Structure 1
Amino acid sequence: MLSVSATPLPSVSEPVAPAPPAAVQDAPRAERRPTLSHRLEYAALRGAIGGLATLPWRQATAVGAWLGRMGYAPAGIRRGVVERQVAAAFPELTPARVREIARASYESLGRTTVEAAIMPGLGKQGVLELFEQVDGWELLEAARAEGRGAIVVTGHLGNWELGGSYVAARGVPIDGVARQQGNPLFDRFLTSTRERLGMDVVWDGHAVRRTPRSLRENRVVAMVSDQGALGLASTYVPFFGRPAKTPRGPAVFALRLRVPILFAVAVRLPNGRFRLAFERVPVVDTGDRERDVDTIVATYTRMLEEWVRRYPEQYFWQHRRWKHQPADTPPHLREP
């Protein structure tokens, strides 16, 4: 696969409903009036981001790692959830190693949060320079050369926001399917930071309507594959041997519209820079739509698992990945 080098680091099982005609416009996001609590929370956030943005990149992300560690201890935010999930995914590990990975995952989440917040200040060139290695870029180019657009699935590993921003910075038209945040002020801020780097943001509630149109325009549509999405159906596939509820929308779109799927991940390297990797997800249409969809979903979930096994400390273990399971799940495979 192609490897692209950068310059030194600078100082972020039910079918989907049919899509309506292209002439139908997206419904606007529900405008929510910010509460006083929202305003205070947002003011504190913007103040913190403003202060971090004045620091060199490495120092700012180090602050993020420190904040993450505080979330693990002494705050203990979801610490039990994280340690139980890590232990379930890696039963061969000692308790000490489980705690080490858990603590590191909080540091990674802190870094990712700060990176995403200050990333727009780098500009497109600065984003490109954060990457030391890019593997499989030719796969994305080949997919778009087919003229039907491309779907990119990823997971909450490394810095998923930065991966999408890299694609946009390379001049590729990309839509990122995202959840609406609870704080409307922060939601607008997050959307604007993504858009400043060239990514169009699609609320997950609009994905069924918007995705076919974007693909017809030969755009890339990026979706996270390890959390539920509003308006997109899910199925249960193995993730570290346990059934996990996983969005099936990317697979349905790929089969229905004959669109290629790529799995992508942006992981942080020891020197603080990043590696972005693309892999083609096989799409086989046997005529059994339900089985074919489940096969594709299981494939990109397995790809994510393989990368999480390589970089377990960079996964978002704070999310209860096995919270929703089939009713007939055996007790030993239920949520840990």
Structure 2
Amino acid sequence: MSDATAPRVPTFSHRLEYYGTRAAVAALHLVGWRAASWLGGRLARLAYKPLGIRRGVVERQIAAAFPALSPDTVRDLAGRSYESLGRTSIETAVLPGTSREEILARVERVVGWEHVEAAQALGKGTILVTGHLGNWEFGGAYFAARGVPLDVVARGMANPIFEAYVNETRQRIGMEVIHDRDAVRRTPRSLRDNRAVAFVSDHDALGLASTFVPFFGRPAKTPRGPAVFALRFDAPVLFIAVVRQPSGRYAVYVEPVVVARTGDREADIDAIVLRFTQMLEDKIRAYPEQYFWQHRRWRRQPPDTPPHLGEP
């Protein structure tokens, strides 16, 4: 067995992190979903101020994406992004044990579900693309609760015990997990079985086939897998956004992504990636405080990128 596929041996710190997380989740279940979400937001605010974890990264990226904002507005938006991330993290943590009825009840509005039904009716499988906006993990749970046969492509985690726990949680909710290193092999099988395959497609990774497309005016390295599979298997592509509303419940947005064939396969792939990236950007502009600005989205860029379009 190669090093890449050999099981990872958990360390003491891995076990400590895992059992600490499980204990915290058990405690959060006692206070209920709404209170746990509020607590997650309050605690995450501390990461912004006074702790300042990644504060510079977040503020620079927000300022670059929204250059018309004043410094005070940037700081306010940054603080709210930490709060949103904290709420998303806690809401995801307490998903295990949540009933199907409870998951459905936490959505107050769905726009475009007819596109899901139309895609499933084709019998060719469905490619779902989303980004780190709102609560993407809850989005998977919602689709599964609606009876959509769903596989999610997920990246490996540093802690193998915690990864197993998260994947077990996803499966309990109704999602099957495809590790990103297995996506090339397993996604075709899922599409042939008329399953939906979900990709969180706004973070690049070394070794992952990607293309550079504009994101808030700057070149951003973006995975091209969803576009490749769509063209290869003639599968429809849907963009999904699951965003928190003032009530604390969610709105689910579903939009079809145009898949056009011009005879130039590489250009067609880039065009699809650009389309769903633009759709994500539009939703971020509507809900900027719910995006994961803590990730360095423009870290990798083409070597000929002009300095003023480089990483903020």
Question: Which category describes the TM-score, using the shorter chain as reference length?
Answer: over 0.9
Question: Per the alignment, in what secondary structure is the counterpart of residue 95 of structure 2?
Answer: helix
Q: Paired residues, what number?
A: 309
CA contact (8 A) 1:204 1:230 kept: no
State the 1:229 CA deviation.
5.0
For 1:229 and 1:202, how far apart are their aligned partners in 2? 16
Letter in 2 for 1:303: M
CA contact (8 A) 1:208 1:231 kept: no
Question: Per the alignment, in what secondary structure is the counterpart of residue 109 of structure 2?
Answer: strand
Q: Which moved more, 1:174-183 or 1:224-233?
A: 224-233
**Are residue 324 (structure 1) and residue 300 (structure 2) matched?**
yes
State the 1:40 CA deviation.
1.1
Runs of 4+ that moved beyond 6 A: none
Q: RMSD of aligned C-alpha atoms?
A: 1.1
Tell me: CA distance 1:329–1:291, structure 2 relative to 1, closer, same or farther (3 Å).
Answer: same
State the 1:181 CA deviation.
0.9
CA contact (8 A) 1:266 1:276 kept: yes
Counterparts in 2 of 1:1-336, with a 5 A limit?
Answer: 30-228=6-204, 232-336=208-312
The Cα offsets for residues 49-95 of structure 1, whole Å up to 9 and x where unpaired, read as: 11011112111001100111011111111000000000000000000
Question: Per the alignment, in what secondary structure is the counterpart of residue 119 of structure 1?
Answer: coil
State the 1:228 CA deviation.
2.1
Tell me: CA distance 1:29–1:272, structure 2 relative to 1, closer, same or farther (3 Å).
Answer: farther
Q: TM-score, normalised by structure 1?
A: 0.90
Letter in 2 for 1:278: V
Question: Per the alignment, in what secondary structure is the counterpart of residue 209 of structure 1?
Answer: helix
For 2:210 and 2:64, how far apart are their aligned partners in 1? 23
State the 1:146 CA deviation.
0.7
Q: Which moved more, 1:225-234 or 1:61-70?
A: 225-234
Consecutive unaligned residues of structure 1, counting only runs of 5 or more, are 1-27
State the 1:333 CA deviation.
0.2
The Cα offsets for residues 25-61 of structure 1, whole Å up to 9 and x where unpaired, read as: xxx9642111011111111111111101111211100
